[in-house]
Structure 1
Amino acid sequence: MRIPHIYQPSELALNVCVQLDDDAAGHIGRVLRMREGDKVSLFNGEGGEYLATLTEVGKKTVTATPYEFVDRCVESPLRIHLGQGISRGDKMDFTIQKSVELGITEITPLFTERRGVKLSGDRLEKKHQQWQKIAIAAAEQSGRNSVPVVHFPKEINVWLKEQSDELKLTLHPRAEHSIKTLPAPTHGVRFLVGPEGGFTDNEMHLTQEQGFVDVRLGPRVLRTETAALTVLSALQLQFGDLTV
């Protein structure tokens, strides 16, 4: 039986009891219904993981004591930053979850001209927190020992103008280039995927001004939640940890 893999954002040390944060404690106590003496794997994003024994499982408090450090890394050698046009409903949640499973490093939700979602104030803050929690849960499920950063949403023109040495890509169904023809990235990849309505001509012009290269995945037009995951898989296959 697989030992539950739990994110604990605090310092971890062998033989030092640690009180798990509210999200981890709730998952262990209410969802998994674990008991004292059960084993878990803890990670804090600083590398490796700690095998630990649960020493207290209460309604509000869960503590664990690490007994072994495992220096294990399942991260891709290719750093990938996704700029994703914010989509409706649970499509954005799905994109974030699966991108983490496929090895994404960073995600920035983007406000685009054709966005179908209106977010601001407290609602935007809560949505951002929700997206980061989805990334944490996906990292736990997929056995990663680091949690990709979901940046606070920003306007697409601001994100496009950020200074970066990454290989910059824009997904476009009529592009001349394919991922197979790209040079091997030496400083990671930054790629842009539009919302359901796609990009406007003005936005496409901005991508070209900022050095983004249009790439295609084939002759068919993909849904926004399919596009990001297909690009990510293709990049991992071509340059990352899925290379064969």
Structure 2
Amino acid sequence: MTRRRWIADEVTGDRAFLLGKNAEHLVRVLRARVGQRFEIATPAGICLGEIVEIEPERVVFSTGDLPQLNLVPHRVPIHLYLAIFKFDRFECAVEKCTELGVSSIVPLIARRTDSYLVSAAPKRVERWRRIAHEAAQQSRRDAVPEICKPGTLEEVISRAPGKRIVLAETEREHKLAETVRDVSELSLAIGPEGGWTGSELALFRVHQWVHASLGPTILRAETAAIAALAIAQSSQS
């Protein structure tokens, strides 16, 4: 049976901590007790942790005398710049891209993003972060991806790290799988419903984003995000 893994909210020396709702779930739902052992993911790697202290919203694990299970494997950082679309589908994209190993998600305000979504998006960030945290633990990741605050293209795309690729329906020459091979870090931009405007694609070019395509069919934004992450991950040697 696979041992349950938790991503530590804080780490100090040989102590790892679960806080808030994570601690509450462990204590009240799983009825954890002092002395029980679980896998704990920390920035240093995955180790066994033994519960040494339980409070209503804090569980303390000792990791000092227990074995290190494995170091965090090297993974090419992939940053997803995802134009905001209908929230139920956006949440699906956050969940599935977290499972696929995305390093961060930057919600983008595009020209064709609905005005209601633009005004409501900042209030959704904490919910998106909770979804990412739950998906990271469910998929046994070693860390939770960063979910950033929403920003406009003008505010964020010039700071994107690594190789920069924007998916564009108008692109016919470059396929995504051909442009993401053997990179050390990658930023991927996915457009909103209706796609990018011509001025937005021109702005991406100004900031050295390579245009690429997923193929001849038109995909929903969440499908494109999931497919792009899977292709990018599988293309790394």
TM-score interval, smaller chain? 0.7 to 0.9
User: Are residue 182 (structure 1) and residue 172 (structure 2) matched?
Assistant: no
Q: Are the equivalent residues in 2 in contact too, given 1:43–1:50 (CA < 8 A)? A: yes
Number of the residue aligned with 2:193: 196
Alignment-mate amino acid for residue 138 of structure 2: Q
Give, in whole Å, the separation in 1 of the partners of 2:214 and 2:136.
Answer: 27
> After the TM superposition, which segments of 4 or more aligned residues of structure 1 sit over 6 Å from their partners?
none
Moved more, 55-64 or 110-119: 55-64
Number of the residue aligned with 1:70: 69
For residues 42-191 of structure 1, the aligned pairs below 5 Å read 42-44=40-42, 46-57=43-54, 59-66=56-63, 67-68=65-66, 69-76=68-75, 78-116=76-114, 117-120=116-119, 124-162=121-159, 164=161, 166-175=162-171, 176-182=173-179, 184-191=181-188
Which of 18, 21, 26 matches 1:20? 18
1:142-175 deviation digits (Å, cap 9, x = unpaired): 22212221111111222222264x2111112331
1:178-207 deviation digits (Å, cap 9, x = unpaired): 124326454411110012232122211211
Q: Are the equivalent residues in 2 in contact too, given 1:47–1:146 (CA < 8 A)? A: no
Give, in whole Å, the separation in 1 of the partners of 2:21 and 2:46.
Answer: 18
Structure-2-length-normalised TM-score:
0.86
Number of the residue aligned with 1:237: 234
Identify if the C-alpha distance between structure 1 residues 187 and 2 changes in structure 2 by more than 3 Å, giving closer, same or farther.
closer
Identify if the C-alpha distance between structure 1 residues 55 and 114 changes in structure 2 by more than 3 Å, giving closer, same or farther.
same
Q: Percent identity?
A: 27
**Structure 2 gap ranges (5+):** none
Identify if the C-alpha distance between structure 1 residues 185 and 212 changes in structure 2 by more than 3 Å, giving closer, same or farther.
farther
What is the number of equivalent residue pairs in this alignment? 233
Q: Are the equivalent residues in 1 in contact too, given 2:97–2:226 (CA < 8 A)? A: yes
Alignment-mate amino acid for residue 164 of structure 2: K
Q: Are the equivalent residues in 2 in contact too, given 1:106–1:151 (CA < 8 A)? A: yes
Deviation of 1:224 (Å): 0.3
Give, in whole Å, the separation in 2 of the partners of 1:179 and 1:107.
Answer: 19
User: Aligned to 2:195, what secondary structure does the other structure show?
Assistant: coil
Structure-1-length-normalised TM-score:
0.84
